[in-house]
């Protein structure tokens, strides 16, 4: 954000490419760290990474939704409410998209731990 804040940002093709790659790296950072833990107990745990990336890419769009509804005259209570609603919708979106792969990971983990115990 610093380059745009200081007025040093130019939307060149290189900048767009770097923003795209940077966005992918950011989206992959948390699920990749989660995969490092999951891979110990779940076969094919790498599948968690793309699912989580898709979930957050969809969920983060909710942060853009309130923008047309607010301006400098909007009361702080309204701004707070619409952004709280957007945050809730973001959480629901991420939870909905990751629920199926999360169930799969949990089942695999439980199956592997039962097999190890026997």
Compare 3 and 105 and report the one with higher pLDDT. 105
Helix (H) or strand (E) holding 83: helix 76-117
Q: How many CA atoms lie within 13 A of 68 on its CB side?
A: 2
Per-residue pLDDT tens over the stretch 47-99: 889 999 999 999 999 998 998 889 999 999 999 999 999 999 999 999 999 99
Rounded distance between C-alpha atoms, residue 80 and residue 16, angstroms: 31
User: What pLDDT is stored for residue 101 in this prediction?
Assistant: 84
Query: Are 48 and 101 spatial neighbours (Cβ–Cβ below 8 Å)?
Result: yes
* pTM of the predicted structure, to 2 decimals: 0.73
Q: Is the dihedral of CA 101, 104, 109, 110 positive or negative?
A: positive
Among the listed residues 61, 64, 56, 63, the one whose alpha carbon sits nearest the alpha carbon of residue 97: 56
Per-residue pLDDT tens over the stretch 9-56: 667 788 778 888 988 999 999 999 999 998 888 888 888 899 999 999
Tokens of 19: 């923003």
Q: Is the dihedral of CA 76, 78, 81, 84 positive or negative?
A: negative
Per-residue pLDDT tens over the stretch 43-53: 888 888 999 99
């Amino acid at each position: 954000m610093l380059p745009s804040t200081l007025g040093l940002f130019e939307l060149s093709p290189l900048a767009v490419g770097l923003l795209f790659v940077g966005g992918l790296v950011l989206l992959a950072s948390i699920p990749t760290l989660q995969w490092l833990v999951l891979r110990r107990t779940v076969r094919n745990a790498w599948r968690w990474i793309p699912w989580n990336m898709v979930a957050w890419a969809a969920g983060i769009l909710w942060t853009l939704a309130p923008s047309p509804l607010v301006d400098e005259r909007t009361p702080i209570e309204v701004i707070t409410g619409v952004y709280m609603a957007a945050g809730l919708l973001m959480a629901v979106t991420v939870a909905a998209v990751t629920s199926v792969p999360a169930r799969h990971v949990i089942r695999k983990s439980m199956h592997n731990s039962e097999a190890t115990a026997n």
